[in-house]
Chains A and B, each alone.
Chain A
């Protein structure tokens, strides 16, 4: 179905190729997963499939890409629209119309299909993806999972043979991600569609893949094989694979079910060991650093928070979880004074954040927003650091030194937009931490981070907490929560549903339990590191 022969891509002005020497054949009806670090060329590979690279992006393509017998060299993306459907990471960016039904029809209109055919296919697609109830809904009222399914539906109506998805679940909460993946699984199995998928959250997608393409990046040759083969050696792997490696299982387990059946012995061993100790904040009489009491906030007619009581002490790492739109970001924004409460009380280190001037605010609280890039204005990393020093009234070089501690060896002359997601996050954190605030808030920090960057983030967050700062994360990433949070607050519909120690909150929840917890349940181990530490102590 898809053939790549010696494909290499070099963008204009780039010193090194983004992709080189890729030979790949993907058969019909295969679900092929593309994995690799940030910047290893995953998106570039996906974009060559429908000719966006090089027709749209520019640059030079070496070798040959054929899809269903059509060479992308002489077929621009629009001429491949009836063969390849492409869904991006943020479906909103690709919506052309404003209502579900019209969005589904848009591609067919461009292809000039007859009205009867369009009508029939829209109805079929609505049923296939379970969107029938949403047909008349405006696109901006949909939830994240619904939006992603509409985006998939909108490319399916042209009856493509190949579906290409770039990080389709990155921005989704766990239930919505499962919804989307179940849809993809069904498309592959019922319709024989060929799916090419890139994703950072391997724990979500590895069980669904028939084959994995590993892009090591930096010009090294790609590895292609069955998931078990590739995962055996891949430096990026989901937690159950790491558990399998630790326990020496072969072949490696790829699903929770496999791992659980293998883990009977492991569970017996662990049951006799003391339960892992998680960082616990000492009892003090000091008032909490962050507090809300009966906090209610609404945007016009939509109620975002209704009566939320949360308090966070110094040295705690608290995770705020919940569906998209449950009020997580609103809570963080209230603590930075970006939103004034309708009712109730918000305090940060004893101050009302709404009344703090921006200059005072940064001394009390740091927030890394969902788009860290919003905080960056300068042309280079060095200029950004100097500006931060000036803002804080500190000697030049303070911020650069702090940044060096977070990510060593970052080139100060690079443009902030050219940094990887992880590096940009570190830069924003460095800028924010320069005024030494006692509170650090992070909104969805692991979006776009690969496992290596995530591990670095975990170490960093632990260090911040150990320095006596209160850290709050709003996140969908259950593995991050398991690794770092001492306490978890689950919001639903603007209310606190659960507030308790992470090990208790996530173990019982089918949606929020990390993979290791699912494997060793009911024992309270949450991460591979905890398991390996316990086993080491025992031996």
Chain B
């Protein structure tokens, strides 16, 4: 074999995509450099298009992009209305509303300068980019497989979330069914009142369904447990609290970047280790096993590493050339492109080529349309089956 054949389609471990996306999001969170932010967006978008499946959640990326646009719009509007005056060329001069003395420091209206607008745009863009990274993870990773990878101790929480997820669509159908029923009874099926009156039947419906599901799960062995000694339970609780606290403080330190360095990565790592130990200890009471867990092999390492590289590049730049991460955003062409951060983010593109292609579920099953759509023909003037029946 002289040439490596492409890997067979396979869904990557959802954790790998989340690490990758969180790495990109970390990179975006630490900069207001518009070029870097746009680069992160482009990288995330490209990998999503290349590696998403055709499952329903794979379409969520666009939703997150739209949400990002809304965030940018809100940020800009807020800046224009409430922002304090900054030096720069005045673009529009809004009439300023005088506010009472207790609201000193807040101004309503006033001149809008190009620098203020650009800063607002870039700040909105940063939030939007981070949202897009989360959206990318959502689109690439099967949420249910992700929940299946939670440690045994969190298994029951995972099941609850899975059940809740599958309840949302069935709630929608049940609302539709009951609103349809209102129409059949000759009552208005539109308007606020009709929505309120369907609430009760819909709730009853959901309650009945959850009882049926609970009965089925109980019959299938859900909730079998081994007995756990009290000391183990106490140890578990202590470890959980310590671990969660450490992780939170560490995450804050890492994302904030202004605190002491010890508050960042070291605390985070320590917190994660303690949390892992607590989960392990809590898992002792669970007799459950897992069917075909997602493997964590080469492609998963590569994907996670690509995300870490993006974050590392930005962090490296923040140490060597912090100015390049927060440049004056205007004029755009004068904004520098720091090499370490750029290369790091570009490396996050690699999963688009180096991971196995996604598994397509519905493509093979989709039926070809049997008839091409034609223009509407006028309906037949009379159809009379009754004579046929009588004959």
> Would you call B288 and A112 a contact (CB within 8 A)?
yes
Q: Write out the residue numbers on chain B whose beta carbons fall within 8 Å of the beta carbon of A155.
A: 219-220
Q: Write out the residue numbers on chain B whose beta carbons fall within 8 Å of the beta carbon of A77.
A: 215, 218-219
Query: How far apart are B157's CB and chain A's nearest CB, in angstroms?
Result: 15
Query: How far apart are B11's CB and chain A's nearest CB, in angstroms?
Result: 10
Q: Write out the residue numbers on chain A whose beta carbons fall within 8 Å of the beta carbon of B371.
A: 306-307
Interface size for B (C-beta < 8 A) is 62
> Would you call B201 and A311 a contact (CB within 8 A)?
no
8 Å CB interface, A60-93 against B: 76-82, 84-86, 88, 90, 93
Query: How far apart are A147's CB and chain B's nearest CB, in angstroms?
Result: 13
Query: How far apart are B191's CB and chain A's nearest CB, in angstroms?
Result: 11
Our pick among B186, B361, B377, B379 for the contact of A136 (Cβ within 8 Å) is B361
Query: How far apart are B3's CB and chain A's nearest CB, in angstroms?
Result: 29
Question: How far is B15's CA from A431's CA once the two chains are assembled, in angstroms?
Answer: 55
Is A509 at the interface (CB under 8 A from chain B)? no
Q: Write out the residue numbers on chain A whose beta carbons fall within 8 Å of the beta carbon of B181.
A: 369, 374-375
> Would you call A115 and B289 a contact (CB within 8 A)?
yes
* Identity of the chain B residue whose Cβ is nearest the Cβ of A55 in the assembled complex: B218
> Would you call A106 and B186 a contact (CB within 8 A)?
no
Query: How far apart are A341's CB and chain B's nearest CB, in angstroms?
Result: 10
Query: How far apart are B176's CB and chain A's nearest CB, in angstroms?
Result: 9
> Would you call A115 and B186 a contact (CB within 8 A)?
no
Is A537 at the interface (CB under 8 A from chain B)? no
Query: How far apart are A171's CB and chain B's nearest CB, in angstroms?
Result: 14
> Would you call B221 and A52 a contact (CB within 8 A)?
no
Interface residues on A, range: 35 or more
Q: Write out the residue numbers on chain B whose beta carbons fall within 8 Å of the beta carbon of A371.
A: 177
Q: Write out the residue numbers on chain B whose beta carbons fall within 8 Å of the beta carbon of A344.
A: 376, 379
8 Å CB interface, B161-204 against A: 162-163, 166, 177-178, 180-189, 197, 200-201
> Chain B, 351-391, contact with A by CB distance < 8 Å: what is the 0/1 string?
00000000101100110011100001101101111111110
Query: How far apart are B204's CB and chain A's nearest CB, in angstroms?
Result: 8
Question: How far is B383's CA from A499's CA once the two chains are assembled, in angstroms?
Answer: 13
| Interface-located stretch among A173-181, A226-234, A282-290 | A282-290
* Identity of the chain A residue whose Cβ is nearest the Cβ of B148 in the assembled complex: A102
> Would you call B163 and A369 a contact (CB within 8 A)?
no
Known contacts A93-B209, A102-B291, then 8 further A-B pairs from the complex at CB < 8 Å, ordered by chain A residue: A52-B215, A88-B215, A96-B217, A107-B221, A154-B220, A359-B186, A359-B187, A392-B186
A sample of 30 cross-chain residue pairs with beta-carbon separation below 8 angstroms, ordered by A number, consists of: A50-B219, A76-B218, A78-B220, A81-B224, A90-B212, A94-B212, A108-B291, A109-B288, A109-B290, A110-B222, A110-B223, A136-B359, A141-B362, A281-B386, A283-B387, A287-B382, A288-B383, A288-B384, A288-B386, A293-B383, A312-B385, A358-B184, A358-B185, A361-B184, A361-B186, A369-B181, A369-B184, A374-B178, A388-B185, A391-B186
Q: Give 7 closest A-B pairs by Cβ, nearest first.
A: A94-B216, A81-B221, A362-B186, A105-B291, A110-B221, A313-B386, A293-B379
